Structure 1
Amino acid sequence: MAEARAQDAKAFGFEPYEAASDEDYMSPEQEAHFRAILQAWKRSLMEEVDRTVHHMQDEATNFPDPNDRATQESEFSLELRTRDRERKLIKKIDEALDRLDEHEYGYCDACGVEIGIRRLEARPTATLCIDCKTLDEIRERQRG
């Protein structure tokens, strides 16, 4: 999953951020880097939503054969579920952009430590450091 997100960043034309040795964490340059990644990702998702709407409008046919109609409805249903997941992701991206505006981006919601540039490049919407996320996943598994 982390590799996929890193590939997303490269697909949007972004190279991994190389911080200067004396650069503060979440400097204006780093904030600009992550803002650009988040905005490109959101733009890509919104374009996909538009394509889905046009596709569904263009392909909506009332097939006389029940099997053809069922196949089309199944395809549309799958596409809508995918778009719903992306809608939730867009919400997370907007929340991350809000955190950037408030200069709170990049810090763990649970313990307040730095999440880290590489983790944020792999998952730009991350709100927990790796340690807190690991503990969260362990608790989730224990709850079943």
Structure 2
Amino acid sequence: MKMNLKALSNSVNQEIKDLKLALASMSDRMPDPIDAGCVVEQLQSLQNQLRFKEQYASRLLVAMKKQNNGEFGYCDDCGTDIPTERLQLLPDAPCCVDCQSIREYKSRAA
């Protein structure tokens, strides 16, 4: 399966740049005391979005490396094909649904 991970990665990286610009512009302004709580909440929201997008971009880089090596679309844990539908929804998915369920179970048990 061939996916255009590079275009997706470029899009995510642009979103990261936009979020950083938004954060910088908000950090520079001094809110009046009445609006300070709203500004802090907006800053935290932007920081959370940025952290999520940066993690996603990192996972996409891993997926692109796998694609270049011919390893994309195979489960990291059991080696079976990851269903096309799953990859269309989660192009950064490292494993099949069954192995992901096992990972999540183990992380909850730990």
Provide TM-score, normalisation by structure 2: 0.84
Gapped regions of structure 2 (runs ≥ 5): none
Report the RMSD for the aligned CA atoms in angstroms. 1.9
Q: How big is each residue's C-alpha offset from its partner over 1:92-122, in whole Å with a ceiling of 9 and x where there is no partner?
A: 0000000111111111111111112121112
Aligned structure 1 segments of 4 or more residues deviating by more than 3 angstroms? 56-60
Q: Structure 1 vs Structure 2: percent identity of aligned residues?
A: 23
- Of the three residues 59, 62, 81, the one matched with 1:92 is 59
Relative CO higher for 1 or 2, CA cutoff 8 Å, sep ≥ 6? 1
Cα drift, residue 77 of structure 1: 1.8
**Match among 29, 34, 57 for residue 61 of structure 1:** 29
**Residue ranges of structure 1 left out of the alignment (5+ in a row):** 1-29
Structure 2 counterparts to residues 105-116 of structure 1, below 5 A = 105-116=72-83
* Structure number with larger C-alpha Rg: 1
Aligned residues: 109
- Separation of aligned partners in 1, 2:6 and 2:77: 25
In structure 1, the residue matched to 2:86 is 119
How far apart are the structure 1 equivalents of 2:75 and 2:23?
40
* Aligned counterparts, 1:1-144, within 5 A: 30-31=1-2, 34=3, 36=4, 38-59=5-26, 60-63=28-31, 65-141=32-108, 143=109
Counterpart CA distance in 2 for 1:98 and 1:58 is 34
2:73/2:87 contact within 8 Å kept: yes
Amino acid aligned to 1:140: S
Letter in 2 for 1:78: S
Question: How far off its partner does 1:75 sit?
Answer: 0.6
Instruction: Determine helix, strand or coil for the equivalent of 1:51.
Output: helix
TM-score by length of 1: 0.66
